[in-house]
Structure 1
Amino acid sequence: MYDMETRRSTLALLAQGRSLNSVSRQTGVSRAAIRAWQRRVEPVPRMARDCRPQGPADTAAYAYLLGLYLGDGCVSPHPHGGHYLRIACADAWPGLIHLCRTAVVAVRPGVSVAVVQKQGCVMVSSYDRHWPCLFPQHGPGRKHDRAIVLADWQREIVDAHPWELVRGLVHSDGCRTTNWTTRAVGGVTRRYEYPRYFFTNKSADILRLFTDTLDGLGVAWTRANAKNISVARRASVALMDAHIGPKH
């Protein structure tokens, strides 16, 4: 296994504009390994490499849970082996807490799920040795500081259940709001209200996953700023309402 210094120095050569072939020849590292380091520089923990689960028992529930995880979740090791999946859910949305717990059990039937009260939120937590395999995007540090790329098998699930992924992302880091504007009609200023969806995330990769999925679903969106995506066109809001709706 290559150490972190070798991995980072190899990627630094690429950052200088060198070709993949020339860096591979100079370092002796295969092109496949270098490409893998571009996606994730940290070594995959041995448990995750050796883990061979049957896959999520319910793929639609998994697409939803993936959205929740990418927004407000983490996978962390237990000191004595195995891992915890933890997803933060605001106290204001008891329905979301229920949906999260239901999705966890649907994905891994038989696992226990605990709800731990924190300040302003609850942490939906589940212990299982296979969580690192089911969420290979896990790693040290914050998600927006590292590459977030779906594995091929995850992409197949998302392609089959795109609305479930979008629903999970919106339920974690999004909202449905009512905006208003004024317009002069016949010399009288009238107030108009209209619904709008927002999705907020600091990770460019997660934002791209969200917008790419919306594109495939025919939902029009705009970038409000560097970390906010807005859906405001009437037909697109109607689509979102049909499949997502406000949190509760």
Structure 2
Amino acid sequence: MYDLDTRKQALALVAQGFSQNSVSKQTGISRAAIRSWLQRIEPLGHDRGADCPRCSSTPKLPDDPGAYSYLLGLYLGDGCISSGKRGVYSLRIACADAWPGLIDACVDAVQRARPANKVCRVQRQGCQYVTSSSKHWPCFLPQHGPGRKHNRTITLEPWQQQIVDAHPWEFIRGLIHSDGCRVINWTTRLIRGERKRYEYPRYFFTNKSDDIRKLFGDTLTAVGVEWTHCTRAGKEYNISVARRASVALMDAHVGPKY
């Protein structure tokens, strides 16, 4: 794979009148690659080798930090990165067919993170995988590693924490959209001697990773949302938001999946 600047340099030499063979000798780029670029209508379009803000000589934040914060939440919940040929990595985020708006939001966030890369939807039974290939996904999502997330340490890099601190609701929304839900619970109360059914909304977030649950809980606390841990078989597994004021705050910034 060749980066954007290398492609531009090669095509500029051809435009100046140099032969493809001559440009190949000058730049070390194969003639087949130069020929394929010249034959494309948009030879510098979707490029998996496009500049990366994280691994450049002066690392900087992604161009759209808010979209990145949302994407980070989605990835920590339902995403994975796999390595392929020639050092190219594939990002894949599973999205249930029941939430078409969520799928569109996921596609948009991935595209904003890597504008030069194609984003595809791969249909599977009951879900779509939002996928995109790039050499730089591990730069954007350094939590990538061997094995399942709940079996290894998950921490944010300082630059990621900076983004989450600036865009906490996008991060919370991404986590809820991946591993969370808004439900209606019910209970009964004795009112003036009569037992009546009482319904109330509640948010849940479920993840096996202690580290990811902590990231979610810490971010909730930072925005003033009260939450509690719920256990399963004696182990912490769910995070619950049930207090009326906190649910109202979540409704205002997150809301149910759609």
Question: TM-score, normalized by length of structure 1?
Answer: 0.78
Aligned to 2:187: 181
Matched, 1:239 2:239: no
| Identity %, equivalent residues | 64
Q: How does 1:200-215 map to 2 (within 5 A)?
A: 200-215=206-221
Matches of 2:63 and 2:108, distance apart in 1? 13
Alignment of 1:1-248 (within 5 A): 51-52=55-56, 55-225=61-231, 226-248=236-258
Contact conserved, 1:57 with 1:109, CA < 8 A, in 2?
Answer: no
Aligned residue number for residue 6 of structure 2: none
1:80 counterpart SS class: helix
Alpha-carbon deviation of 1:171? 0.4
Distance between the aligned counterparts of 1:97 and 1:182, measured in 2? Answer: 37
Q: Deviations 1:212-241 (Å, cap 9, x if unpaired)?
A: 011111100011111100000000000000
The residue type paired with residue 235 of structure 1 is A
Q: RMSD of aligned C-alpha atoms?
A: 1.4
Query: Conserved in 2, the CA contact under 8 Å of 1:78 and 1:84?
Result: yes
State how far apart, in whole Å, the 2-side matches of 1:99 and 1:81 are.
28
- Name the CA distance, whole Å, in 2 between partners of 1:101 and 1:153: 23
Supply the distance in 1 between the matched residues of 2:145 and 2:87 (Cα, whole angstroms).
16
8 Å contact kept, 2:150–2:208: yes
- Partner Cα distance (1:103, 1:178) in 2: 29
Gaps of 5+ in 1: 1-47
Aligned counterpart, 2:36: none
Query: How far apart, in 2, do the equivalents of 1:84 and 1:55 lie?
Result: 21
| Cα shift at 1:51 | 3.8
What code does the residue aligned with 1:180 have?
W
Deviation at 1:118, TM superposition (A): 1.4
Question: Comparing 108-117 with 137-146, which one deviates more in the overlay?
Answer: 108-117
- 8 Å Cα contact 2:61/2:159 also seen in 1: no
Amino acid at match of 1:231: V
Give the Å deviation of 1:57. 1.6
User: How many angstroms apart in 1 are the aligned matches of 2:191 and 2:142?
Assistant: 55
Tell me how many residue pairs correspond in the alignment. 200
* Residues 113-161 of structure 1, C-alpha deviations (whole Å, 9 max, x = no match): 0100112211000011111100000011100000001001101000100
What's the secondary structure of 1:191's corresponding residue?
strand
- 2:40 equivalent in structure 1: none
Which piece of structure 1 moves more, 94-103 or 74-83?
74-83
Moved more, 160-169 or 78-87: 78-87
| Counterpart residue type for residue 238 of structure 1 | A
Q: C-alpha displacement at 1:54, in angstroms?
A: 5.1
How far, CA to CA, are the matches of 2:228 and 2:105 in structure 1? 28
Does the 8 Å contact 1:96/1:247 carry over to 2?
yes
Unaligned stretches of 5+ in structure 2?
1-51
Give deviations 1:87-113, integer Å, cap 9, x for gaps.
000111111000000001111112100
* Distance (Å, rounded) in 1 between the aligned partners of 2:69 and 2:212: 14
Separation in structure 2 between the aligned mates of residue 55 and residue 142 of structure 1, nearest angstrom: 27
How far 1:184 sits from its partner (Å)?
A: 1.3
